[in-house]
Structure 1
């Protein structure tokens, strides 16, 4: 039997928050009106992930998708209508509580979309390592085909990567710049961070079976845009773990750090053989999130890599020129004094636990991570 996998959010209360109840009423009225006009549910699949069976321990996959209401005149592929400017992806009408049948391997399961129209379910199924198709069907509309990336058992390196200001140059979260990036600029206008694609490709070349997972506080509405960005600029493909903007059962807004904490905990739990390289930037909360993850999951984190933003980029990220990384130069504390090597942006920061390295771009991080990626040098 499949399990209704918990979303990467804090535990919800039994009685939803007022904002969530209000949103649900609006969604219900809008949905009924659109269905009367002939709109039908269509499924937008997201790439999932899972663990292969080894002949003894069973395998399972986490399947992800969203059910939306679309005009019968829209393209059959839901994401084909999102190829234009980013703001259009936020105008989709969700289909909560929609029954969905999915097929993966020899498993056929029936699930129900949640209040946001999302399908997030763990399916016990024995699949070989590699990429497999998942077929989704709603009561109306055409079938949709997605993918799950199944990871082989056995110890291996994997990469968890932030997106904003880590692989893609952005101006989040300053409101007017974030709105410009999200709602106005065409997706093709986004710029990759220098050297990051080369860094990730070097990991893939050395570790062909390494899973890549992109974890961001960005909205699921932007998944198609982000997937095209990663593909266009040569980043290894992998699942996106995003979040849903708007009211929750516990408040008006979701917690970005809590989303990332939960996503990392779940990856460690569901892919226990993977040693994760955690990659982020010091413009927001990544240093603290990754430090906590390394402390909680000793033996499951290979290293932490932080892209150092320039003072100007720090201002765009959070309004000051100061790094949010407490180990950055000038941010030393009594319980964590700065190491002399911190003056070199590529220096490893000597602290208990996995190695932590920092550099202004992917080329600098590649130098600092050489031993992690290629293994320790045997030369004296």
Structure 2
């Protein structure tokens, strides 16, 4: 929500339950900023991005450009007190950092009478509210309640479910700032086939948080199952930011490992692509968490063949039945995923 130029954003997060007390610990993550006016936008975003995107200075803003570039030139609100609440009770105060972000955890006591919602596939979620009293604005955000047991689908976004062409920097920038976001053919339908009440979805990208609205809109418009979103913190300092904006291998590894530590009884199905470090990262994770890693699906966007030395090395000591390099989603639907889900069901039945 915004008031004047002031904005408050609450990102979609997750919560886990404490067995002893029955309470839930919910992640809170948001952003507080003042939107850039036209003059400020033109003197900042234009001076960096227009040159990189080869847009003539006399040409009007192309479609999508203002919407996606605007977040990089806002004035972040630091040391602002944000109150977070569930059901307008249990208020918790937190201050924003220099980058305008605020993060904390809030304990939720949820009963049968508590306000609750469900996703289209039956997973439970609650609404958290962030309140900024100094300018009388608030914002509601979703928090997904992740059961102790179940299946978690963690997916990269760029070149896994959204066409980005990360390997070509000019195309990557154009696909990010100038063109409509396009889903990879068959991926929305595949993810919806995977959706079920005890399953959760988590989307990871090296895209900066400044573009969270565009990313969330993409997921919603193309009917991907609801889930938490994990983007990258990024500060605009100088023109070199265009060279640093997308690589974020450590971020992806941290999100996946944190999930596995947090939910040791859940199984994880990991989606990524072969364009950068996903095979190496996911292979290492599968070796560290063999019981929790149900399967790894990697869309092939590299010249390496599925049986190449690179992939064999990345998945050393990982069962070949646990990973697949694919180009056609139909292969996943017809063979690999049914086997994975059959294995998962057998594990549930045996427990």
Aligned equivalents of 2:154, 2:270: Cα separation in 1: 5
Hey, what does 2:206 align to over in structure 1? 217
Structure 1 CA distance, aligned partners of 2:270 and 2:166?
Answer: 20
Question: Partner of 1:104 in structure 2?
Answer: 86
* Alpha-carbon offset, residue 115 of structure 1: 1.9
- Asked if structure 1 preserves the Cα contact closer than 8 Å seen for 2:286 and 2:318, the reply is no
Q: Does the CA-based 8 Å contact 2:36-2:74 persist in structure 1?
A: no
Deviation at 1:375, TM superposition (A): 4.1
CA distance in 2, matches of 1:102, 1:212: 24
Tell me which residue corresponds to 1:287.
Answer: 279
Check the 8 A contact 1:45/1:65 in 2, yes or no: yes
Alignment correspondent of 1:199? 190
1:62–1:121 Cα contact (<8 Å) kept:
yes
The alpha-carbon distance between structure 1 residues 337 and 87, as it changes in their structure 2 partners (threshold 3 A), is: closer
TM-score by length of 2: 0.75
In structure 1, the residue matched to 2:140 is 145
Corresponding residue SS for 1:49: strand
The Cα shift of 1:288 comes to 1.0
Aligned to 1:65: 30
* 2:280 and 2:314 in contact (8 A); partners too: no
Q: Deviations over 1:306-326 (max 9, x none)?
A: 1112xxxx3xxxxxx347xxx
Please show how residues 154-165 of structure 1 align to structure 2 within 5 Å. Answer: 155-165=149-159
Partner of 2:262: 270
The match for 2:307 is: 329
What is the aligned length? 300
Measured after TM superposition, the shift of residue 373 of structure 1 is 2.4
1:95 counterpart (77, 85, 103)? 77
Structure 1 gap ranges (5+) = 1-37, 74-81, 315-320, 339-348
RMSD: 3.3
Cα distance per residue 1:96-132 (max 9 Å; x no partner): 2221111025421111112211122222223367211
Of 96, 114, 124, which residue of structure 2 is paired with 1:113? Answer: 96
2:228 corresponds in structure 1 to 239
Q: 109, 124, 129: which is aligned to 1:130?
A: 124
Q: Shift of the alpha carbon at 1:46?
A: 0.8
Change (3 A) 1:67 1:236: same
1:86 corresponds, among 41, 55, 68, to 68
Partner of 2:8: 43
Taking a change above 3 Å as real, the CA distance of residues 377 and 53 of structure 1, as seen in their structure-2 partners, is closer
Within 2, Cα distance between the matches of 1:330 and 1:360? 15
In structure 2, the residue corresponding to 1:193 is in which secondary structure? coil
Evaluate the alpha carbon distance shift between residue 119 and residue 83 of structure 1 in structure 2; reply closer, same or farther with a 3 A threshold.
farther
Unaligned runs of 5+ in 2: 39-63, 112-122, 347-351
CA contact (8 A) 2:294 2:344 kept: no
Map 1:16-55; keep pairs closer than 5 Å.
41-54=6-19
